[in-house]
Chain A
């Protein structure tokens, strides 16, 4: 029993301790001119969907959920956001060459078609981030058109 108590105390101290380790927050007030939605004429429904489903990890501004205040959840998010932005940052869209834009658009289509994006761990909590079949089709049609027009 004593051992249990000691372990519990250590773990509790550890849990409280890690709350003081700062995390990098992905937040920005400005939307740069290179943003995907500013460069292209994106229909409003698709704009909204992209904001809700993609921009949290693929832009410079994340709408953080409440549990981001708690470690280790915050680390988990930080990791995903870093990785997501490295792969594709909608805010910096126009700084890409048209060759890279075209291959990014192609990857976006593939990711949505195969259901790999948005991540399951994300849609688990962000139910509204999920794509319905119709929404996926609308977005894929739009991205395909955009890709062909580049």
Chain B
């Protein structure tokens, strides 16, 4: 009898451990199905774009997704930023650099790889982390625009308070701070006009 009890005890412990480790290990799982969905969606987008047959349209597509993501962060919307991070990640992955020179292609490849990684993280993080990753993506996208150019006039804005000074891009020179959202919505300054 005692033996049976002990065995049962050990087994219960084992099973509990298994349950705990499974839970821990799969922590990030819920985000996965969503990003798949988003991926499919933007695959369709890609087809649309291929028809327009305009290389710069690809950079424009990245900018469009970037601005949407920025707006979600301005609005303190964690869930929306997750979705848009996944969208941006697949748009970045679809970028076609073939019309650029070899050195530009290499630079663009590095930019896309880096930005994709951070966009993927945004698709599964809390808002504080999303903002950390957004800072790096902002730099990547700014460097991309320096190579690809863009049809629109963009503004580079600066939040001097966030992480020793952080930039972001916007279509408008009005300050709407994606690093602090509603906490400090208009904190920051317009640094320069691009294009």
CB distance from B109 to the nearest CB of A (A): 8
A103/B136 contact (C-beta < 8 A), A4-B4, A8-B8 known: yes
Chain A contacts with B in 1-25, Cβ cutoff 8 A: 4-5, 7-8, 11-12, 15
A76/B24 contact (C-beta < 8 A), A4-B8, A8-B11, A15-B14 known: yes
Question: CA separation between A5 and B5, bound complex, in Å?
Answer: 9
Chain A CB within 8 A of B49 CB: no
Chain A CB within 8 A of B111 CB: yes
Chain B CB within 8 A of A106 CB: yes
Chain B contacts with A in 123-153, Cβ cutoff 8 A: 132, 136, 140
Question: CA separation between A97 and B111, bound complex, in Å?
Answer: 9
The answer to whether B110 and A11 touch across the interface, beta carbons within 8 angstroms, is no
The answer to whether A76 and B15 touch across the interface, beta carbons within 8 angstroms, is no
Chain A residue with Cβ nearest B17? A72
Count chain B residues whose beta carbon lies closer than 8 angstroms to a beta carbon of A: 20
Size class of A's contact patch?
20 to 34
Question: CA separation between A99 and B21, bound complex, in Å?
Answer: 35
The answer to whether B132 and A110 touch across the interface, beta carbons within 8 angstroms, is yes
Chain B CB within 8 A of A79 CB: yes
CB distance from A143 to the nearest CB of B (A): 15
Apart from A73-B17, A79-B25, 15 more pairs, CB < 8 Å: A7-B8, A8-B8, A11-B11, A15-B14, A72-B18, A72-B21, A76-B21, A97-B110, A97-B113, A97-B114, A98-B110, A99-B110, A103-B114, A110-B132, A121-B24
A-side residues, CB < 8 A to B, are: 4-5, 7-8, 11-12, 15, 72-73, 75-76, 79-80, 97-100, 103, 106, 110, 121
* Chain A to chain B contacts (Cβ below 8 Å), 16 pairs: A5-B4, A7-B8, A8-B4, A8-B11, A12-B7, A12-B11, A72-B14, A72-B21, A73-B17, A73-B21, A75-B21, A75-B25, A76-B25, A97-B110, A97-B114, A121-B24
